[in-house]
Amino acid sequence: MSSPLRVNSASSPSYVWSSISAARKLLLTGIRQKIHSGYEVKVWEDPWIPTTPARPALPIAPVMLPNMRVSDFINPVTKEWDVGLLENYVNPEDIPLIRSLAISSAHRRDTFCWNYTRNDQYTVKSGYWVAQNVLKAEEEKEVLEPITRNLARRNMRCDNYCPRCGELEESVTHAIFECPLALQVWSLSSTPSSPASAQFSGCGWVWWDSGGNIQLLGTKNFDRRESALHSEVEALRWAMENMLQHSTCQSFGTDCKELIAMIKEPHVWPSFATEL
Highest averaged pLDDT of the listed ranges 2-16, 123-137, 183-197, 241-255 = 123-137
- Whether residue 84 contacts residue 75, with contact meaning beta carbons closer than 8 Å, is answered with no
Task: Output 22 or 27, whichever has higher pLDDT.
Answer: 27
User: Residues 191-230: pLDDT tens digits?
Assistant: 544 444 456 677 777 877 777 788 888 887 777 777 777 7
Report if residue 61 sits inside a domain. Answer: yes
Are the beta carbons of 41 and 48 closer than 8 angstroms?
yes
Cα distance between residue 241 and residue 225, in whole Å: 19
Q: pTM for the full model?
A: 0.58
Candidate from 122-131, 149-158, 179-188, 191-200 with smallest mean pLDDT: 191-200
The whole domain housing 174 covers 137-196
Residues 23 and 110 in one domain: yes
- The more confidently predicted of residues 117 and 181 is 117
> For the residues of the chain, what is the DSSP string, one character each?
---TTS----SS--HHHHHHHHTHHHHHHHEEEEPSS-TT-BTTTS--BSSSS-BPPPBSSS-S-TT-BGGGGB-TTT-SB-HHHHHHHB-TTTHHHHHTS---SS-PPPEEEETTSTTS---HHHHHHHIIIIITTHHHHHHT---HHHHHHTT-S---S-TTT--S---HHIIIIISHHHHHHHHHSSSSS-GGG--EEEEEEEEE-TTS-EEEEEEEEEE--SSHHHHHHHHHHHHHHHHHHH--------S-HHHHHHHH-GGG-GGGTTT-
Residue 209, burial from CB neighbour count under 10 angstroms (0-12, 13-18, 19+): exposed
Burial class (CB in 10 A: 0-12, 13-18, 19+), 115: buried
* Domain identity same for 204 and 191: no
Of 196, 222, 247, at which residue does a domain stop?
A: 196
3 belongs to a structural domain: no
Q: 125 with 22, same domain? A: yes
74-78, 83-87, 212-216, 226-230: the lowest-pLDDT one:
226-230
Q: In terms of domains, do 120 and 168 share one?
A: no
Domain assignment of residue 25, yes or no: yes
89 or 185: whose pLDDT is higher? Answer: 89
One-letter amino acid of 273 = A
Dihedral, CA of residue 125, residue 129, residue 130 and residue 136, to nearest 10 = 150
Same domain, 245 and 141: no
The three state secondary structure string of 204-266 is EEEEECCCCCEEEEEEEEEECCCCHHHHHHHHHHHHHHHHHHHCCCCCCCCCCHHHHHHHHCH
Looking at 91, 110, 134, the residue that finishes a domain is 134
The reply to whether 72 falls in a domain is yes
Which of residues 96 and 155 earns the better pLDDT score? 96
Specify the higher pLDDT residue, 128 or 57. Answer: 57
Crossing angle of the two packed helices 257-264 and 228-246, in degrees rounded to 10: 70
Together in a domain, 92 and 147:
no
248 and 145 in one domain? no
Residue with the larger pLDDT of the pair 4 and 63: 63
* Choice between 269 and 155, residue whose per-residue pLDDT is larger: 269
Last residue of a domain, one of 148, 172, 196: 196
Query: Based on the structure, what is the number of domains in the chain?
Result: 3
- Same domain (yes/no): 119, 189: no
Same domain, 166 and 248: no
Task: Tell whether 57 and 147 lie within a shared domain.
Answer: no
